[in-house]
Chain A
Amino acid sequence: MATDLAPPEAKAAPGHTPGRVPIRTALLRYRWLYLMLVPGLVYFALFKYLPMYGLTIAFQDFVPFLGYSGSPWVGLKHFEALFTGPDFGRLLFNTLFLALLTAVFVFPAPIVVALLLNELRVGVYKRFVQSLIYIPHFLSWTIVFSLTYLLFSVDFGLVAGWIHGLTGGARVDYLAQPDWFRPLVILQLLWKTSGWGTIIYLAALASVDPNLYEAARMDGAGRWRQFWHVTLPAIRPTIVVMAILTSGNLLDQSFEQIWLLTNSLNRSVADVFDTFVYYVGVQQGGYSYATAVGLFKGVAGVILIFGCNWLAKRLGQRGLF
């Protein structure tokens, strides 16, 4: 539920100190701006806050036919079942491990790519590369999985074949080996998301004042120095904001991605909260239990986002709120 934490209205009027202007006058003065806010507010109320009422079923033994009012209340039964159940430890570990790998490898990737692109001199080539690396973002996970299968299948996989040719020995079934599950997930994420992620950083880089570079050059700074003392400080706020926003999603694995890569041999490392919720809730009809798991994950996400925001402020950066 991290989405609901920073609705645009929270940031709408930071420039105008509400202490001095009476709220009425402010409302009147900026009435058109406030009016434009209404659709956004309605959207969040209707599609984000209202459905949260459904979370009550985490505390019920929900039977759809009996509805919210008719289903019996069971208190924390489903949470107890989750925390004491045999799956919890494995799910938490797998989810956190993947989150950690994502934070370490996937999050910095677009920054690196954007910086590299920024150093390119030939404009046409730069735009060409940019467009090219956006493409994977628009492919569905099903297609990404099919490509992975074609490359890594033990039977006819192209990459699997090369590696086999280089190293010799027995053929490795990358798609079925638990050890290779996480690297494949990260590789897929890198391929699919890092190009698209560069957009925001490139925008930040474009807004750096050219005078700063000129001044730095006058002071005798080389390329590396310019990068270190001008470029990086300029995009640091963007990086921090992105880091905070991403932290709320750390526990979300891409459901389809994981689901498609899972099989009987790698399930021990592949099961994460998202796939578990799907299995329990949608396939088994355990609505209440699945909602309890989802709620736990949502709360954990909120804690993470607040924690990162706090940390950013402690480190002297501007936080998100």
Chain B
Amino acid sequence: MSASRRRSLAGALTLVSALALSACSDDGGGGSGADAGTVTMMVPLFGTAPDPKGEIHQAVEKLAGKKLAITWTPNAEYNEKTNVVLASDSIPDVMVIQDNKSPSFVQAAKAGAFWDLTDKLDKYPNLRPKSEQAWINAKTDGRNYGIYRVRPLLRSAIILRKDWLDKLGLKPPQTTDELYEIAKAFTERDPDGNGKKDTYGLILPKWPGVSFAASSPYNAIDVWFGAPNNYGTRDGKLVPEFDVPEFWEAQKYIKRFIDEGLVNADWATLDTAKWNDPFVQGKGGIIIDVNVRAGQLFDELKELDAETYDSKVAMAGNLSRPDGQKFSLPFTGYNGIVAVSKQRVRTDEQLDDVLRTLDKLASKEGSILLNNGIEGRNFRVENGYAVKIDDQDPGMKVVNNDVEYAFIQLGTTSSVGVAGDAYEWMRPSQAEQDWLKQRDELMNLDLQTAVHDPSLPVISQTAVERGATLNPIPTDARIKYLAGELTEEQFRAEIKRWYDSGGTQILTELQDGISKIGG
């Protein structure tokens, strides 16, 4: 009973009280003005918090030429903690903002809590944006309130059971039609050779959240068929992904998979955390997701059977549609930003000081330190790849934890999934090394046909205010249509309802915002 009672307040009130308490307690201690020798930071943490006296922390301080007072905050609660900190008056000098489109950050930034860095980074060779697209994507309502933390600009890929393909004499797909044929063969031609018809092609999970454009397998297929990525321009007008003829082609394509039983029966309810299971257990053979998932699958299959795992994963890039045209689903190219607080860093000189520190961390030397560690201490370089030294040693485990689960989060030019100037870690098997190479090739190839989302740098106020009502409308309607609970006419009626309940307004606001920043 008391648990459910607490729950009743959980949504809003506990949050509010947390804000209230933190605001109270911070009143006394809120220092003013940055201490020239120390930079305070708030950074996400994926493991145990590094000891400030530890080797890596000391090395980073030495490189930065500053003392660093870092508040390490567990990733799972990072966004909530961010909201609390934003509400207090003790924002650290430098703060990693993971969701820089969240209403609370947008409001704080517009109210002047952070430096607008849009025109300020040219002097810093390592902070200057390397990718124009990621720089645009990382904008918040047209301005850059921080330095983006780089991630691959394109991660979409198809991962297939290689042993099944080999057994049936098939090749990884290039076109949507080939993917369909493979899924059909995986379902009907007994790819595991056990004499039973107990396999299927595509593994689809229940996609978490209710936003329509969420880099889901559905979004990937929409884009392959030529629909916009979230929003796009048709005849000079901004239209949503779900209201173009190509979108309907894509829906019919997906529906065929479901109607013919080429997907898992629980496709509407399967938890994304269990997405790999059918693949590893040999029930389903195709996953449309991010390319790094192949690495996970290698690891999981290896646990099951270390002998043959390397012959079980194949990867393909984005597909071309039946008429031969190809469109690819890109990602945003960044994961959150590193923002500088205006509250404590007050003058341009102080800002310059902080940015020079961050510039050092983004250099080649800094990248290697934050991503790999200390060469000769916890890793050595072989053929251009980093190889761990003695990684079972307890002391070394601490060093590796500090790097991989903590300081890597401070990387802006190289980080998780993008080696940049740092070293890529060596993978044990030839198949995995080939896969890494293929991953980069496919990424560069597909980037040429990437369909970018023009609405990313813009914020629609209506979408913020009425998102809870509007977002589920097209998202749920699609799933219901695919499940056969809505006809195409009913689906179209739902889309009209989206327009009428505020969708039209969202489009107008986004259109205005996009033309304002000249996109």
Judged by a CB distance under 8 angstroms, whether A2 is at the interface is yes
A 68-88 to B, binary, CB cutoff 8 A, 1 in contact else 0: 100000000000000001110
Residues from 44 to 70 in A contacting B, C-beta threshold 8 Å: 47, 50-51, 53-55, 57, 63-68
B164 to chain A, nearest CB (A): 19
A3 to chain B, nearest CB (A): 5
Provide the residues of chain A in CB contact with B501, threshold 8 Å.
Answer: 86
Residues from 149 to 199 in A contacting B, C-beta threshold 8 Å: 149, 153-155, 171, 173, 175-176
Judged by a CB distance under 8 angstroms, whether B53 is at the interface is no
The answer to whether B15 touches A281 (Cβ under 8 A) is yes
B 15-48 to A, binary, CB cutoff 8 A, 1 in contact else 0: 1110111010000000000000000000000000
Contact of B103 among A54, A153, A284 (CB under 8 A): A284
Contact of B8 among A54, A66, A173, A298 (CB under 8 A): A298
Residues from 51 to 94 in B contacting A, C-beta threshold 8 Å: 80, 83, 86-87
**Distance, CA A297 to CA B113, complexed state (A):** 34
A307 to chain B, nearest CB (A): 18
**Distance, CA A282 to CA B102, complexed state (A):** 10
A140 to chain B, nearest CB (A): 10
**Distance, CA A85 to CA B501, complexed state (A):** 10
The answer to whether A284 touches B467 (Cβ under 8 A) is yes
Provide the residues of chain A in CB contact with B206, threshold 8 Å.
Answer: 263-264
Judged by a CB distance under 8 angstroms, whether B445 is at the interface is no
Judged by a CB distance under 8 angstroms, whether B353 is at the interface is no
B side interface size, CB within 8 A:
53
The answer to whether A64 touches B86 (Cβ under 8 A) is yes
The answer to whether A155 touches B9 (Cβ under 8 A) is no
The answer to whether A149 touches B271 (Cβ under 8 A) is yes
Task: Determine which residue in B8, B19, B465, B480 has the highest number of CB atoms from chain A within 10 A of its CB, and name it.
Answer: B8
Assuming A65-B108, A264-B268, is B87 touching A291 (CB within 8 A)?
Answer: no
**Distance, CA A1 to CA B6, complexed state (A):** 9
Assuming A65-B107, A149-B271, A249-B1, is B20 touching A274 (CB within 8 A)?
Answer: no
The answer to whether A249 touches B468 (Cβ under 8 A) is no
Judged by a CB distance under 8 angstroms, whether B10 is at the interface is yes
Judged by a CB distance under 8 angstroms, whether B464 is at the interface is yes
The answer to whether B87 touches A67 (Cβ under 8 A) is yes
Judged by a CB distance under 8 angstroms, whether B197 is at the interface is no
Judged by a CB distance under 8 angstroms, whether A290 is at the interface is yes
The answer to whether B268 touches A286 (Cβ under 8 A) is no
Contact of A277 among B12, B480, B483 (CB under 8 A): B12
Judged by a CB distance under 8 angstroms, whether A245 is at the interface is yes
**Distance, CA A153 to CA B405, complexed state (A):** 36
The answer to whether A249 touches B5 (Cβ under 8 A) is yes
**Distance, CA A143 to CA B103, complexed state (A):** 32
Task: Determine which residue in B12, B19, B475 has the highest number of CB atoms from chain A within 10 A of its CB, and name it.
Answer: B12
Q: Summarize B's interface: helix, strand, loop or mixed.
A: helix
Assuming A173-B266, A263-B268, is B12 touching A255 (CB within 8 A)?
Answer: no
The answer to whether A278 touches B464 (Cβ under 8 A) is no
B273 to chain A, nearest CB (A): 10
Residues from 251 to 300 in B contacting A, C-beta threshold 8 Å: 264-266, 268-269, 271
A72 to chain B, nearest CB (A): 12
Chain B residue, CB-CB nearest to A265: B268
A side interface size, CB within 8 A:
61
**Distance, CA A48 to CA B7, complexed state (A):** 14
The answer to whether A285 touches B102 (Cβ under 8 A) is yes
The answer to whether A65 touches B86 (Cβ under 8 A) is yes
Chain A residue, CB-CB nearest to B105: A285
A 104-141 to B, binary, CB cutoff 8 A, 1 in contact else 0: 00000000000000000000000000000000000000
The answer to whether B11 touches A63 (Cβ under 8 A) is no
B175 to chain A, nearest CB (A): 28
The answer to whether A278 touches B11 (Cβ under 8 A) is yes
Provide the residues of chain B in CB contact with A298, threshold 8 Å.
Answer: 8, 13
A4 to chain B, nearest CB (A): 10
The answer to whether A149 touches B107 (Cβ under 8 A) is no
B167 to chain A, nearest CB (A): 24
Assuming A154-B266, A264-B479, A286-B103, is B108 touching A274 (CB within 8 A)?
Answer: no
The answer to whether B104 touches A64 (Cβ under 8 A) is yes
Provide the residues of chain A in CB contact with B108, threshold 8 Å.
Answer: 63-65
Provide the residues of chain A in CB contact with B87, threshold 8 Å.
Answer: 64-65, 67
The answer to whether B16 touches A54 (Cβ under 8 A) is yes
The answer to whether A252 touches B4 (Cβ under 8 A) is yes
**Distance, CA A47 to CA B271, complexed state (A):** 36
The answer to whether A294 touches B13 (Cβ under 8 A) is yes
B283 to chain A, nearest CB (A): 9
Provide the residues of chain B in CB contact with A51, threshold 8 Å.
Answer: 13-14, 16-17, 20-21
The answer to whether A55 touches B13 (Cβ under 8 A) is yes
The answer to whether B16 touches A155 (Cβ under 8 A) is no
**Distance, CA A280 to CA B170, complexed state (A):** 47
23 contacts between A and B (CB under 8 A): A51-B14, A54-B16, A64-B107, A65-B108, A65-B113, A86-B501, A153-B269, A154-B265, A173-B269, A176-B483, A252-B8, A255-B10, A255-B11, A263-B206, A264-B472, A267-B210, A267-B472, A274-B11, A285-B104, A286-B464, A290-B12, A293-B11, A297-B8
10 shortest A-B CB distances, which residue pairs? A277-B11, A51-B17, A285-B103, A54-B16, A64-B87, A264-B479, A65-B108, A252-B8, A294-B12, A290-B12
Additional pairs, 15, CB under 8 Å, beyond known A252-B8, A277-B11: A51-B14, A64-B83, A64-B104, A65-B107, A65-B111, A67-B87, A254-B4, A254-B7, A265-B480, A268-B476, A278-B11, A285-B104, A290-B12, A293-B11, A293-B12
